């Protein structure tokens, strides 16, 4: 614990933060009131807000508040400075009287605490000479034990002297026997050691080979399984796309066929009156205004097409149909006439105005001018009919259509469809296709017709989803790299362990043969 001041009115320092914190905890001060305490001690609200922003726990905020107080930040000096007296006064002003009284009782013990902690530590120094004396006496006993053991060693020369006369009696026989024994030992040791060194080298080589195999086999297995799985997931039978569409009307209009970015060609079945263009992006659009007027019409299902009669109008998204109709008659019904929009010829010809395939239906009121504005959201041929159940009802109308079309003036006709054979079919090829691209971009075939035409087109999706295959292969190699690192760490540890064991075995064999 840090040393504290010798007086309750003496300034406290940051080194006494722990003492002050523990003392306030002991006094039972609620830490949640740290901000009120900081304001009372002279800290500014901006400093306290900064503490609240930087620390999430109440205890951390409380400690930082005390730290700033002990550093005498902001207006602490004007509130009596960082002393126990100013702290006690602040607690009383916050109505924490119990904590203030406890603080006044406990702070003398905190001031004396460092002196009490230093006293027990002094006798430990005086004990060291006694331990040294004991160690010296234990060391001095060792020479005596050595002196006692020396006579046993000195007894050996006497035994040798007794045995020397027997050796000197037959010197020639002893020399012959020593030669025979040494030759027999060399003949036994040398072949065995040469044989033992070869298996050791073979064993080390086999261990290295085993380590390499244990690393390579799992890696190859992961790669083979990953690549095979990736190919299996991404491979599928080509999906044929075969569709037809009706384009154009009595006016000149155009249509757009979006093609997937991994499809390289599109086959078309078109007439000679259709011009084919190819583009990498949707071409800009233009608008032409079509107008028509129907002075007066009667009947249950009267055609109300801008191109007159049963001729549809081909409209792209963004086109607008504007009908201004005047209904006259003696019918008091709320809906004496109805304007119905179709995009299917069969529904239009049968006048199925209650069908679910109706695009939109508008109720017309009597003796008023009805303005009907139709916004087009889908490319199609559109038909309009007027439904009246009362033959006395007549309707006159002015029709204005803002027809959106694709502006192909900056495009050149597709080369593959410039010169077509008599079967009126051609195939548009895109040489810039990128099979491995993962972008969602499309390329487009634009058809422009001067009349109403039926167009058929078809293409096949590729056998592989190259984008998905690319992602699967990347994931496979990433997983393979992680497995490789783990195996290298495991195998390196195993190889080092086996090499250490092999060296220990070799040392034991050498010691055994030397003995």
Instruction: Tell me the domain boundaries of the chain.
Output: 14-119, 205-236+464-515, 252-282+420-460, 285-406
- What's the pLDDT tens digit per position in 268-314? 888 777 888 888 888 898 898 988 887 776 667 888 888 888 888 88
Query: Would the pLDDT of 241 be above 60?
Result: yes
Query: Would the pLDDT of 363 be above 50?
Result: yes
CATH superfamily of 14-119: Death Domain, Fas (1.10.533.10)
pLDDT range class, residue 373, cuts 50, 70, 90: very high
Whole-number pLDDT of residue 364: 87
Distance CA 322, CA 292 (A): 11
For residue 411, give both structure tokens.
């495009």
Distance CA 68, CA 46 (A): 13
Q: Which of 1-10, 88-97, 126-135 has the highest mean pLDDT?
A: 88-97
Task: Using CB atoms within 10 Å of the CB of residue 381, give its burial: 0 to 12 exposed, 13 to 18 middle, 19+ buried.
Answer: buried
- % of the chain with per-residue pLDDT over 70: 70
The answer to whether the CB of 445 falls within 8 A of the CB of 266 is yes
Starting at the edge strand found earlier in the chain, the sheet holding 265-269 runs: 240-247, 453-460, 265-269, 425-429
How many CA atoms within 13 Å lie on the side-chain side of 71?
Answer: 10
pLDDT range class, residue 230, cuts 50, 70, 90: low
Distance CA 250, CA 292 (A): 14
Average confidence score pLDDT of the chain? 73
Task: Using CB atoms within 10 Å of the CB of residue 482, give its burial: 0 to 12 exposed, 13 to 18 middle, 19+ buried.
Answer: exposed
The answer to whether the CB of 302 falls within 8 A of the CB of 385 is yes
Per-position b or e across 51-90, b if 16+ CB within 10 A of its CB: beeeeeeeeebbbbbbebbbebbbebeebbbbbbbbbbbb
- What's the pLDDT tens digit per position in 485-496? 887 787 777 777
For 285-406, CATH number out of 3.10.105, 2.60.120, 1.10.405, 1.10.3470 equals 2.60.120
In Å, how far from its chain's centre is CA 430? 35
The answer to whether the CB of 442 falls within 8 A of the CB of 259 is yes
The answer to whether the CB of 277 falls within 8 A of the CB of 414 is yes
Whole-number pLDDT of residue 399: 92
Domain 14-119 identical in fold to domain 285-406: no
Region 492-512 average pLDDT:
77
Helix or strand run (H / E) with residue 427:
strand 425-429
Least confident interval from 48-52, 145-149, 418-422? 145-149
C-alpha closest to that of 110 among 84, 92, 87: 84
Whole-number pLDDT of residue 238: 66
196 Cβ contact list (under 8 Å, min separation 6): 509, 513
- What's the pLDDT tens digit per position in 427-485? 888 887 766 566 666 788 888 887 777 788 887 776 656 677 777 778 877 887 787 78
Distance CA 73, CA 66 (A): 10
- What's the pLDDT tens digit per position in 149-203? 444 433 443 434 434 434 344 444 454 455 444 544 444 444 444 444 444 444 5
Q: Which of 210-224, 370-384, 489-503 has the highest mean pLDDT?
A: 370-384
Distance CA 315, CA 379 (A): 6
Whole-number pLDDT of residue 237: 64
- What's the pLDDT tens digit per position in 116-157? 444 444 434 334 444 444 344 333 344 444 443 444 433 443
92 Cβ contact list (under 8 Å, min separation 6): 100
- What's the pLDDT tens digit per position in 308-322? 888 888 898 999 999
For residue 332, give both structure tokens.
């008091």
* 453 bridge partner residues: 247
How does DSSP classify residue 409?
A: T
């Amino acid at each position: 614990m840090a040393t504290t001041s010798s007086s309750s009115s003496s300034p406290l320092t940051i080194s006494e933060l722990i003492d002050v914190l523990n003392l306030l905890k002991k006094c039972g001060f609620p830490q949640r009131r740290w901000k009120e305490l900081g304001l009372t001690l002279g800290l500014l609200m901006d400093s306290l807000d900064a503490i609240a922003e930087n620390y999430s726990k109440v205890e951390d905020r409380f400690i930082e508040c005390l730290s700033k107080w002990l550093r005498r930040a902001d207006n602490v000096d004007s509130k009596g400075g960082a002393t126990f007296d100013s702290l006690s006064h602040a607690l009383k002003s916050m109505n924490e009287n119990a904590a203030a009284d406890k603080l006044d009782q406990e702070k003398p013990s905190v001031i004396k605490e460092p002196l009490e902690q230093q006293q027990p530590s002094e006798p430990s120094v005086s004990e060291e000479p006694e331990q040294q004396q004991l160690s010296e006496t234990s060391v001095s006993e060792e020479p005596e034990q050595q002196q006692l053991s020396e006579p046993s060693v000195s007894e050996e020369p006497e035994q040798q002297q007794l045995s020397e006369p027997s050796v000197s009696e037959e010197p020639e026989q002893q020399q012959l026997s020593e030669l025979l024994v040494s030759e027999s030992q060399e003949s036994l040791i040398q072949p065995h050691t040469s044989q033992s060194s070869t298996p050791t080298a073979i064993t080390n080589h086999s261990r290295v080979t085993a380590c390499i195999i244990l690393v390579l086999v799992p890696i190859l297995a992961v790669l083979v399984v990953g690549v095979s799985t990736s190919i299996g997931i991404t491979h599928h039978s080509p999906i044929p796309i075969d569709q037809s569409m009706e384009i154009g009307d009595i006016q000149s209009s155009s249509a757009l066929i979006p093609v997937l970015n991994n499809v390289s060609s599109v086959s078309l079945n078109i007439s000679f009156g259709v011009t084919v263009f190819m583009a990498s992006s949707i071409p800009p659009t233009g608008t032409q205004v079509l107008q028509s007027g129907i002075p007066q019409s009667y009947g249950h299902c009267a055609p109300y097409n801008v191109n007159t009669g049963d001729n549809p109008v081909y409209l792209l998204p963004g086109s607008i149909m504007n009908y201004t109709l005047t209904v006259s008659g003696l019918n008091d019904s709320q809906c004496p006439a109805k304007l119905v929009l179709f995009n299917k010829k069969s529904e239009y010809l049968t006048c199925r105005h209650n069908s679910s395939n109706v695009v939109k239906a508008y109720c017309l009121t009597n003796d008023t001018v009805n303005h009907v504005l139709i916004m087009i959201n889908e490319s199609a041929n559109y038909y309009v009919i007027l439904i009246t159940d009362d033959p006395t009802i007549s309707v006159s109308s002015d029709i204005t259509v803002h027809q959106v079309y694709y502006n192909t003036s900056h495009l050149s006709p597709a080369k593959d469809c410039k010169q077509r054979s008599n079967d009126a079919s051609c195939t548009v090829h895109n040489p810039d296709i990128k099979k491995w691209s993962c972008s969602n971009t499309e390329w487009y075939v634009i058809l422009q017709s001067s009349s109403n035409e039926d167009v058929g087109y078809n293409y096949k999706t590729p056998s592989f989803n190259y984008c998905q295959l690319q992602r699967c292969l990347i994931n496979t190699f990433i997983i393979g790299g992680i497995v490789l690192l783990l195996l290298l760490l495991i195998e390196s540890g195993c190889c080092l362990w086996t090499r250490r064991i092999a060296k220990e075995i070799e040392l034991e064999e050498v010691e055994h043969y030397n003995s």
